[in-house]
Chain A
Amino acid sequence: MKPAFPYILLAALAATAPAATAPLAIFGETIHPMAGPAIKSGLVLVRDGRIAYVGPAAGQIVPADHQVIRARVVTPGLIDARTTVGLSGLLNQPHDQDMLERSAPVQPELRAIDAYNARDPLVAWVRSFGVTTLNTGHAPGALVSGQTMIVKTGGTTVEDDVVNPAAMIAVSLGGSGVVRAEGTAPAPAAKSPGTRAKAVAMLRAELIKAQEYARKREIPDEAKRPSRDLRLEALLRGLAGTQRFLVTAHRQQDILAALRLAREFNLQLVLDGCADAHLVLAEIKASGFPVILHPTMARANEDAENLAMDTAAKLAAAGIPFALQSGYESYVPKTRVVLFEAAVAAGKGLGFDAALASVTINAARLLGIADRTGSLAAGKDADLALFDGDPFEYTTHATGTIVSGRLFADGPH
């Protein structure tokens, strides 16, 4: 991923912010580094927000200034690959709902970073279940609803926590908000497409407009160039692949429509939702695009009525890269928890290791942040989740979460 200028600036700010964290020594009866086999009686040393050591505890001397923490099970901090936490606030009142702008159907210029509330209680809520990183932003519900960003769950300011301020551009195909409101969801954006075919036609027209804009911006005579257009600039980043399109599509015909669009415009997609993925595994596999699979706890209705608890296992068997998500719903509960989503997948055929990978290293790779997080290795961000048993058992507690070296133990949850 080519970082844009603001990304570099913000990353520089972020690097200086958490310097105040105390060094930590985490002893784990079992450590799952997700970069090699599980370690029994292991140790993770954390200094200046980064991992200084991960490996067997035997023979290691813990410096006196390190705070010692013990846990039965240690994993990398969990990554929620698609959520609206921080934009869709806990209260679900008009003043705290910023995940969906309904003034127009195509608004790729809307940035998540301008709306994210790092102090919304749901940020702390998901963090208390081990979640350290979110790909959060604009919800499904408009043809192009805006952008997502990648952010840590430190919970102070977005500037402190941001990893990638412009991760993806959110597109919704099918009935999930575009054609009609789903359940109690807010009404779709004004002038939204009324049918599936119209939605795709509108999207094609927008992309062609962006291509023409790009050509005109290259005109040698500056006076003849069009003015800057934030909307088309965002679509151009999508066309260039520097900011991938995150396409929410549940029905198989919508998934196929997304793949058709990608072929026509040579797009880099991330497929989102994909309740019907089990019907078009071969097509998804052939496309090479990764999937951020729907939460199975979500209401199985409308376009997602055929969602299946064993789809994650089928994606794994097919060799399709995927991650899990908490997703977006408009009513109680205000967010799902990706730990529980991985738990269902683990229990329905995916198994422990692949389920854990789907919310750690594989999610990091999918989001393009595996150089910083998603596994436990020296030099990476100190993002860890601590548990008093198998993380996926519902009766286990998340006893602590470490975000960029900062310990949160305000659970247990």
Chain B
Amino acid sequence: MVPRFSPAATALLGLALAAAAQEKPLAFTGAQIIPIAGEPIADGVLVVHRGRILAVGAAGSVALPAGAETRAIRGKVILPGLVDSHSHIGGAQGADGSAPIQPEVRVLDAVDVRHPSIQKAQAGGITTANVMPGSGHLISGQTLYLKLRDGRTIDDLLIKLADGTFAGGLKMANGTNSIRTPGGPFPGSRAKSAALVREQYVRAQEYKARLARAGGDPEKTPARDLALEMLVEVLDGKRIVQHHTHRHDDILTVLRLQKEFGFKVVLHHVSEAAKVATEIAAAGVPSSVIIVDSPGGKLEARDLTFENCAALERAGAAIGLHTDDSVTDSRHFLRMAALAVRAGMTRTGALQAVTLANAKMLGLEARVGSLETGKDADFVILSGDPLSVYTQVEQTWIEGAKVFDVADPKDRVYAFGGAGAGDPRRVSLCCFGSAWDIIVAANGGDQ
């Protein structure tokens, strides 16, 4: 990151903020806790410390650590921070119009972390989001799994993996969005779309084989190819394909390609999932579903139904939900879970679909998606039943730092709207949004 402070000042800030992010353990008591991993706890205790969950359980079963600060929040409901498996917050774009397959393009290089859509997502209780490029390409680029910390730069929101890389997937799409007028580089039909994708993955297989044969010998190693490198990551199962697909036959095409190349894939939108729920379940491929207010708006969404989640659940498939912000507003993410229940999904399944199921689709279930000891202290405090229209998101916490508080007028405008709701969040040296800013400033990245 760009150093804006002198080393001495940075060290001081770091010290000051370390204290703010629970040098002392912080315990929330009296709330109903819905841990997702396990049954709801009527009178629960959640203890967080140094950005992680120290303990979660029923009152009386959790020993409060010495020196813990306690906040009694009787009447409230605590959920894990919501995970959105498909979003476009931050105003980022991916591939351009030059070609239908551009796996080398990174959303990383385009996200505006001060964009108001990120603050609105916090206000909706979202703590982790898969920020994607669009669906107008067969492969439109690399996605980013972000923690929605109050960051100054994109580096502050990244999730660093054990191997030093940043978490993210690869966005693919089929159907009409990536089909364009014939004559240019884009496919003019569905079969051509699939052929172009197969051709590219075959090339990646060959590239991978050449790399293996070279055995590190610089003479024999092929020249670096950013696009093929990315597809090799996919072939190696290190990067999950996040695949836009609507129509039932397009869904089956994705499953066919998945079988041929063996990559990990998540089906996104799946407007006609109910028609092929058995096939989706049999393939063992998870679905990230969107529910919008009405079908239509495009031919492929003609038969979109609220009942996709229930159909997939009955078939035994893994189901998540996503906002596709701005197709739906991040502040209404819990509403989508409620609409899934309206159309027959179980309440348990619907709450998983906005938390742990999505975490699994991003490969982040070890860190987020449920309230369990050792996981990141990402949680939401609600005024009541998560599925009720009368419930408000009151606070959103990420890694032990509060990033949204409806009682703070600066945050409230992003939750309710009003003058300034469309403006970027102001970040300055004097007024950091949360403790996280300064910790990140001091330590330079994801912890």
Closest chain A CB from B304 CB (angstroms): 8
Tell me whether B296 and A91 are in contact (CB under 8 A): yes
Measured between alpha carbons, how far is A85 from B295 in the docked complex, in Å? 13
Task: Tell me the B327-382 residues at the A interface (CB within 8 Å).
Answer: 327-329, 331-332, 335, 338-339, 341-342
- Mask of B394-438 contacts with A, CB within 8 angstroms, 1/0: 000000000000000000000011111110000000000000000
Residues of B near A336 (CB, < 8 A) are: 293-294
Tell me whether B295 and A333 are in contact (CB under 8 A): yes
> Given contacts A332-B327, A394-B338, is CB(A306)–CB(B417) below 8 Å?
yes
Tell me whether A332 and B297 are in contact (CB under 8 A): yes
Residues of B near A332 (CB, < 8 A) are: 292, 296-298, 301, 327
Q: Which of B1-9, B308-316, B383-391 contacts A (4 or more CB under 8 A)?
A: B383-391
What is the size category of the interface that chain B forms with chain A?
35 or more
A308 interfacial contact with B, CB 8 Å: yes
Task: Tell me the A239-271 residues at the B interface (CB within 8 Å).
Answer: none
A392 interfacial contact with B, CB 8 Å: yes
Tell me whether B416 and A309 are in contact (CB under 8 A): yes
A413 interfacial contact with B, CB 8 Å: yes
Measured between alpha carbons, how far is A152 from B222 in the docked complex, in Å? 68
Tell me whether A297 and B329 are in contact (CB under 8 A): yes
Tell me whether A331 and B299 are in contact (CB under 8 A): no
Most chain-A CB neighbours within 10 Å: which of B301, B306, B327? B301
Q: Which residue of A lies closest to B338 (CB)?
A: A394
Closest chain B CB from A373 CB (angstroms): 23
Most chain-B CB neighbours within 10 Å: which of A296, A300, A347? A300
Tell me whether B295 and A305 are in contact (CB under 8 A): no
Closest chain A CB from B246 CB (angstroms): 10
> Given contacts A90-B295, A306-B422, A336-B293, is CB(A396)–CB(B417) below 8 Å?
no
Tell me whether B389 and A301 are in contact (CB under 8 A): no
Residues of B near A306 (CB, < 8 A) are: 417-422
Q: Which residue of A lies closest to B391 (CB)?
A: A347
Q: Which of A37-45, A138-146, A337-345, A402-410 contacts B (4 or more CB under 8 A)?
A: A337-345
A32 interfacial contact with B, CB 8 Å: no
Residues of B near A394 (CB, < 8 A) are: 335, 338-339, 341-342, 387-389
Q: Which residue of B lies closest to A331 (CB)?
A: B297
Tell me whether B299 and A395 are in contact (CB under 8 A): no
Residues of A near B422 (CB, < 8 A) are: 300-301, 305-306
A198 interfacial contact with B, CB 8 Å: no
Residues of B near A278 (CB, < 8 A) are: 418-419
Residues of A near B418 (CB, < 8 A) are: 278, 306, 308, 310
Tell me whether A337 and B326 are in contact (CB under 8 A): no
Residues of A near B306 (CB, < 8 A) are: 413
B302 interfacial contact with A, CB 8 Å: yes
Measured between alpha carbons, how far is A397 from B306 in the docked complex, in Å? 12
Closest chain A CB from B413 CB (angstroms): 8
Tell me whether A310 and B416 are in contact (CB under 8 A): yes
A-B contact pairs, 12 of them (CB 8 A): A92-B296, A126-B294, A276-B419, A297-B293, A300-B417, A307-B417, A310-B416, A332-B327, A334-B295, A394-B339, A394-B341, A394-B389
The tally of residues in A whose CB lies under 8 Å from a CB in B reads 44
Residues of B near A276 (CB, < 8 A) are: 419
Tell me whether A346 and B299 are in contact (CB under 8 A): no
Measured between alpha carbons, how far is A397 from B341 in the docked complex, in Å? 10
Tell me whether A308 and B296 are in contact (CB under 8 A): no
Tell me whether A333 and B293 are in contact (CB under 8 A): yes
Tell me whether A297 and B297 are in contact (CB under 8 A): no
Q: Which residue of B lies closest to A126 (CB)?
A: B294
Tell me whether A335 and B389 are in contact (CB under 8 A): no
Tell me whether A334 and B390 are in contact (CB under 8 A): no
Within 8 Å by CB of B421, from A121, A125, A300, lies A300
Closest chain B CB from A181 CB (angstroms): 16
Within 8 Å by CB of A335, from B294, B326, B391, lies B294
Task: Tell me the A109-134 residues at the B interface (CB within 8 Å).
Answer: 121-122, 125-126
Tell me whether A348 and B416 are in contact (CB under 8 A): yes
Q: Which residue of A lies closest to B301 (CB)?
A: A332
Tell me whether B390 and A125 are in contact (CB under 8 A): no
Residues of A near B298 (CB, < 8 A) are: 91-92, 331-332
Measured between alpha carbons, how far is A301 from B91 in the docked complex, in Å? 12
Measured between alpha carbons, how far is A396 from B298 in the docked complex, in Å? 28
A204 interfacial contact with B, CB 8 Å: no
Tell me whether B326 and A125 are in contact (CB under 8 A): no
Q: A125-B294, A333-B294, A336-B294 are in contact. List 4 more A-B contacts (CB 8 A).
A: A122-B294, A279-B419, A331-B297, A334-B296
- Mask of A6-27 contacts with B, CB within 8 angstroms, 1/0: 0000000000000000000000
A225 interfacial contact with B, CB 8 Å: no
Tell me whether A393 and B389 are in contact (CB under 8 A): yes
Closest chain A CB from B287 CB (angstroms): 18
Residues of A near B419 (CB, < 8 A) are: 276, 278-279, 306
